[in-house]
Chain A
Amino acid sequence: MNFLAALAQHAEKATEHAAPAGEAVAHAIHVSWLWLIPLFPLLGAALNTAFGPWLQKRYGKRANHAIAIGVMVLSCIVAEVAFWSMFARPAHERFFEDHLWTMWQSGSLKADLAFALDPLGMVMTLIVTHVATLIHVYSVGYMADEPAYWRFFLWLNLFVFSMLLLVMGSNFAVMFFGWEGVGLCSYGLIGFWYTDIEKAKAALKAFVVNRFGDFGFIIGLFILFWSLSGTWNAQNRYVPEPGLAAATLGAPVQRPRVSPAGVPLGATIEFRELRNQIADESSGMAGRLGAMTLFGLPVLALIGICLFVGATGKSAQIPLYVWLPDAMAGPTPVSALIHAATMVTAGVYMVARLNFLFALSPIAMTVVATIGALTAIFAASIGFFQYDIKKVLAYSTVSQLGFMFIGVGVGAFWAGIFHLMTHAFFKACLFLGSGSVILACHHEQDMRKMGGLAKYTPVTRWTYLAACWAIAGFPWAAGFYSKDEILWKAWTADGLVTPWMGQAIYVVGAVAALGTSFYMFRSYYMTFTGEYRGGHGHEDKERLEDPHAMAAHAHASDAVQAPSHDDAAADVHQVPHQHDTSHGAQPDSHGDAHGHGGVPHESPRAMTWVLIALAVAAVVSGVLFGLPKAWSGHEPLLEHWLAPSLPAAEKVPFRETSHATEWLFQFFGFGIAAVGWIAARAFYLDAKSTVPERLKAAFPRAWGVVFNKYYVDELYQATVLRFSFWSSRALYWFDQNVIDGLVNAVAAVGRGVAYVDAAFDQKVVDGAVNLLADAFLQGGAKLRRLQTGRIQAYLFGALAGAIAFVAIQYVIR
């Protein structure tokens, strides 16, 4: 991929002149094969769902991963074809769309199942497919012992499918499907070993915390949709679009207005249409949105902040970052793929995707950048004192995501995406390296029981070191270019609410970068230098005085808490350590089944090759894609490539400064990284220094607070969770007493009315009927006396009648 991109630079220059400059409106090129990219992983997931267990039993695990990796390779190929055909077009034509069908239409809301690729989506798609393929390969080695092998790969494939929906969706609806889909897969993979209650809890925690974020996301989406539709009168009050009700009933939707430049205006959830409406100066949409308020608040800031709440959930920012460290309960490849390289960057991607929207609101931008900076330093400080290697990496991920948000927040959208990309490489490499270390130490995650691994696992050591250089920011690796670009842009940022905000963010970011360098090299030295501290009979004094063990809560895979070493091993060790020797990808190393406490060993080749590939990418991608303008005189390759997707990039103001200043800042950034490295080396090389111990003893209280992650989990427990439980109890009480009381009262009233009604019925209605019947009975009893049965009596009657008749006749006459 790097090679391709290098080629890209040449062709780029050739086409540059042909493309009309400053093309604000993006026109879509319709292609019909984009759906293949997400289809293949879905197919793989479907196959492993339907036939996985049978295949595993019949043909062995080889069949499962052959399917999973095969579909990923196919997906990669289509993604690369897409890249080349996009690359062959001039910049303003790099908007591919593939419309499959309309999912639903209601009024002016029209949601299509459609995929779109623009330069930004293309970068993300390439990162997702390629890193995912590498991690699939790595998983072959790492998960070789797993009985439910097929389930792991089906979740991985499903995750890639969801992530591609998120990245390639041409509208908010498809993106939201992907957004929820990756959350689901994350849940399924964190809780992959669901029989461990702590892991199941971690999965649930991730899922629930993300719901909070998704709530903000969808509210922001609603406000955005609302603010785009309808019309506004002079007082900026909303007037519903005429004919909206008729349209809902099936009448043809009238796309209301068209801007002078030919851009249809009105409510839409399509990213490209939205972009055009705002980017097209003649539409006046930007001004109208800027003037709009909702409940007295500027609507653009509301939209930006609500959408950013969604990003804080998915991308683990303050205050919703708490799920990510616990998500390390999942298998390590999952941590690398989902919780480092791809899924957690979805929030950054979303902000970059909507750059034109965020750039309109300095408030939203400031919020994004500030939260990013705070998260960066906060998570970095927690990373200082963690002993679980995966926890260190988890907090470092949170911290690096904070850097990305600084980038997109100050308006350096391309730098945020650049850091996303380099981070995907080096953090995947670090996580996979930690997985390799964990496997080498027989499922031990506590760095105090590692040490001296450099001579046992040379490949892992060198790749880990390369990734450490990258994340710490040394100019010979990629992270330097992306992180310094972000910090530099923060320093010069001029589009935030206050002029000094950028500088403040820079200072915070620089301190966080110093911390990053320190804790990453700390983890490196604790793991790879000194003597191997694992094995039997090793009693760790430090753990006994560990305040974390006394903390009320327990975390999944936190081996620190186990009372003794043997228990710790048993806790962490989920799968039997019997490796499948018939496995093609790993003929050596694991086959000689040595027990726990034996010497560490290098991982199988399926894993080491992936580590090498990622380490190479982590080193060279920075120079290839993001060589600073101060060095080369050209704008960085990635910035140029992303420019069509980031129409707002030109509009965000930055202060003009000389190249010399930029050089100075870059040198300062390098100095920060070096200081962190030197400090970590002094403290942790070969585990010789006693300074960390003495510092810990000198400030036990401060150390405890940081070690226990500032008690944020406990804070959540005491506030959100307690409130949640309290309110559920209160609602239960309300339900039991008030609602049930109301129902019972209604029932009682009903019974009373029924009683009165019954009495009336019985006494009055029945009485009347009986009275009538009685009257007839009585009358009959009287009358039947006439019926004597004597013939002569009747004759008397007849005679009397005749006489009477005659007499009456006579009288009347």
Chain B
Amino acid sequence: MSSIGLPHFLIVGAILFALGMVTVVTRRNAVGILMGVELILNGANVNFIAFNHFVEGPGRLTGQVFSIFVIVLAAAEAAIGLAIVLAIYQTFRTIDVEETDLLRE
């Protein structure tokens, strides 16, 4: 059993992405979907950090900077997404995405 290497981190990132993906696809609660999105983004962050450490080298910070950007983006996304959810709630009195299908047909 060797030490923990790049594939392990990638597997963790993939698991995180898969969980987030399943959450986004299956949850009917809009807030839940947003939380799934956070999982996907964080899965990506794990990949960035892992690639920075094992591919770029320990002295480099490229992956970290990307991760910081993604976290900032995620915060902004969460803010806007929650605002939209609020607006949807005010309109439909629900945050169930199955109900908010006004644009169909």
Contacts and interface: CB of A to CB of B under 8 A. Distances in A.
A799 B26 CA distance: 13
A779 interface: no
A777 to B, nearest CB: 15
A790 B97 contact: yes
B24 A795 contact: yes
Contact of B104 (A788, A792, A796): A788
Contact of B101 (A789, A795, A796, A799): A789
A788 B105 CA distance: 7
Contact of A799 (B25, B33, B97, B98): B25
Contacts of A7: none
A787 interface: yes
A795 B102 CA distance: 17
Contacts of B21: 799
A789 B104 contact: yes
Contacts of B24: 792, 795
A333 to B, nearest CB: 107
B25 A792 contact: yes
A797 to B, nearest CB: 11
A784 B105 CA distance: 7
A234 interface: no
Chain B interface size band reads: 10 to 19
Nearest to A795: B25
A787 B25 contact: no
Nearest to A790: B101
B103 interface: yes
Contacts of A784: 105
A799 B40 CA distance: 13
Interface string A780-813: 0000100111111001100100000000000000
Chain A interface size band reads: 10 to 19
Interface string B26-63: 10000001000000000000000000000000000000
Contacts of A787: 104-105
Contacts of A790: 97-98, 101, 104
Interface string B55-92: 00000000000000000000000000000000000000
Query: By DSSP majority rule, is chain A's interface helix, strand, loop, or mixed?
Result: helix
Contacts, number: 26
A796 B97 CA distance: 14
A787 B21 CA distance: 21
Nearest to B28: A792
Contact of B105 (A789, A796, A799): A789
B97 A791 contact: yes
B25 A788 contact: no
A792 to B, nearest CB: 6
A789 B98 contact: no
B61 to A, nearest CB: 30
Interface string A249-261: 0000000000000
B18 to A, nearest CB: 11
B97 A789 contact: no
A798 to B, nearest CB: 10
A782 to B, nearest CB: 13
A799 B24 CA distance: 11
A790 B103 CA distance: 9
Interface in A744-788: 784, 787-788
A184 B102 CA distance: 98
Interface in B10-31: 21, 24-26
Contacts of B102: 789
B21 to A, nearest CB: 7
Contacts of B103: 789
A796 B25 contact: yes
Contacts of A795: 24-25
Contacts of A788: 101, 104
20 contacts: A784-B105, A787-B104, A788-B104, A789-B101, A789-B104, A789-B105, A790-B97, A790-B98, A790-B101, A790-B104, A791-B33, A791-B97, A792-B24, A792-B25, A792-B97, A792-B98, A795-B24, A796-B25, A799-B21, A799-B25
Given A787-B105, A790-B104, A795-B25, 16 more contacts: A784-B105, A788-B101, A788-B104, A789-B101, A789-B102, A789-B103, A789-B104, A789-B105, A790-B101, A792-B25, A792-B97, A792-B98, A795-B24, A796-B25, A799-B21, A799-B25
Interface of B: 21, 24-26, 33, 97-98, 101-105
> Which 8 pairs show the lowest CB-CB distances between chains A and B?
A789-B104, A789-B101, A789-B103, A795-B25, A788-B104, A790-B101, A791-B97, A792-B25
